[in-house]
Chains A and B, each alone.
Chain A
Amino acid sequence: MSSATLQHAAFILRGNPITAVAAAGSTLLILVGLFAPWLAPYDPIASDVANALQAPSAAHWAGTDQLGRDVFSRIIVATQLDLTIALSAVGISFVLGAVIGALCGYTGGRLDRSVGRFVDVLMAFPLFVLAMAMVAALGNRVENIVIATAIINLPFYIRFARAEVNVRRNLGWVEAARASGESHVSVVLRFLLPNVLPAMVVQMSLNLGWAIINAAGLSFIGLGVKPPTPEWGIMVAEGARFISTGKWWLVAFPGLALMLAVLCFNLLGDGLRDILDPRQRT
Chain B
Amino acid sequence: QTRAETLRYVTGASVNTLDPNIPGSTREAFAVSLSTYDRLVSFGRKQLNGKWVFDLDSIRGELAESYEVSPDGLKITFKLRKDAKFQDGSPVTAEDVKWSLDRAVTAKILGKAQLLTGSLTDASQFKAIDPLTFEVTLPKPDKLALPNLATVYPIIINSKLAKSHTTEEDPWAQAWLKDNTAGSGAYILESFKPGEQVMLKRNDDWNRGPGGKQAFFKRLILQSVPEPATRANLVEKGDVDIVIDLQASDAQSLEAKGKLQVISTPQYNAMTFISMNNQMPPFDKVDVRRAIAYALPYDDMFKAALFGRGELLTGATWADGKPPSGAFPIKQPIKLDLDKAKAYLKAAGFPDGFSTTFSFNVGQSATAEPMAALLKESLGKIGIKVDIQKLPDAQMSTQITEKKLPFFTEGIVAWLPSTDYFYRNFYTGNQRWNYSSIDNAELTSIAQEARFEADKTKYEADGVKLNAINFDQMPQVPLWQPSQDAVMAPSIAGYTYQFHRQVDYRDLSRK
Residues of A within 8 A of B (CB): 45-47, 49, 52, 66-68, 136, 139-140, 221-223, 226-228, 238, 240-247
Contact = CB atoms under 8 A, between A and B. Distances in A.
B395 interface: yes
Interface string B140-171: 00000000000000000000000000000000
B366 A241 contact: yes
Contacts of A52: 303-304
B389 A67 contact: no
Contacts of B299: 49
Interface stretch (B32-40, B185-193, B371-379): B371-379
Contacts of B253: 244-246
Contact of A244 (B250, B304, B372): B250
B209 interface: no
Given A47-B373, A49-B300, A49-B304, A226 B388 contact: yes
Interface in B209-239: 227-229, 232-233, 236
Given A241-B229, A245-B249, A49 B374 contact: yes
A242 B249 contact: yes
B247 interface: yes
A92 to B, nearest CB: 23
Interface string B347-382: 000000000000000110110011011101100000
Contacts, number: 78
B228 A241 contact: yes
B232 A227 contact: no
A228 B228 contact: no
Contacts of B363: 222
20 contacts: A47-B304, A47-B373, A47-B374, A66-B249, A66-B304, A67-B370, A67-B373, A136-B395, A139-B389, A140-B389, A222-B363, A222-B392, A223-B390, A223-B392, A226-B389, A241-B229, A242-B249, A244-B236, A245-B232, A246-B253
Nearest to B360: A227
A255 B233 CA distance: 21
B285 to A, nearest CB: 26
B390 A227 contact: yes
A177 B430 CA distance: 70
Contact of B377 (A46, A222, A241): A46
Nearest to A243: B229
- The 6 tightest CB contacts between A and B, nearest first, are A222-B362, A228-B373, A49-B300, A245-B253, A244-B229, A226-B388
B390 A226 contact: yes
A139 B357 CA distance: 13
Interface residues of B, number: 34
Contact of A241 (B247, B370, B390): B247
A214 to B, nearest CB: 18
B69 to A, nearest CB: 48
Nearest to A240: B229
Contacts of A226: 387-390
A140 B392 CA distance: 10
Contacts of A238: 369
Nearest to B387: A226
Residue among A221, A226, A240 facing the most chain B CB atoms (10 A cut-off)? A226
A66 B374 CA distance: 11
Interface in B289-336: 297, 299-300, 303-304
Contacts of A67: 300, 304, 370, 373-374
Nearest to B368: A227
Contacts of B236: 244
Residue among B227, B362, B372, B395 facing the most chain A CB atoms (10 A cut-off)? B362
Residue among B387, B388, B389, B392 facing the most chain A CB atoms (10 A cut-off)? B392
A265 B423 CA distance: 57
Contact of B388 (A221, A223, A227): A227
Contacts of B377: 45-47, 228
A227 B372 contact: yes
Given A47-B300, A49-B300, A227-B369, A245 B389 contact: no
A227 B371 CA distance: 10
Nearest to B362: A222
Contacts of B387: 226
Residue among A49, A241, A244 facing the most chain B CB atoms (10 A cut-off)? A244
A213 to B, nearest CB: 19
Contacts of B252: 245
A140 B374 contact: no
Contacts of A247: 249
A5 B108 CA distance: 74
Nearest to B236: A244
A223 B387 CA distance: 16
A47 B301 CA distance: 11
B305 to A, nearest CB: 8
A39 to B, nearest CB: 22
B376 to A, nearest CB: 6
A66 B248 CA distance: 11
Contacts of B233: 244
A8 to B, nearest CB: 48
A49 B362 CA distance: 23
A46 B380 CA distance: 11
A228 B380 CA distance: 13
A46 B376 CA distance: 10
Contact of A227 (B249, B373, B391): B373
Residue among B372, B373, B376 facing the most chain A CB atoms (10 A cut-off)? B373
Nearest to B303: A49
A200 B45 CA distance: 69
A136 B464 CA distance: 43
Contact of A245 (B250, B300, B362): B250
Contacts of B228: 241
A139 B365 CA distance: 15
A228 B388 contact: yes
Contacts of B390: 140, 222-223, 226-227
Interface string B241-273: 000000101101100000000000000000000
Contacts of A139: 389, 391
Contacts of B365: 222
A66 B232 CA distance: 18
Given A47-B304, A140-B390, 14 more contacts: A47-B374, A49-B299, A136-B395, A222-B362, A222-B365, A222-B390, A222-B392, A226-B388, A227-B373, A241-B228, A241-B229, A242-B249, A244-B229, A245-B252
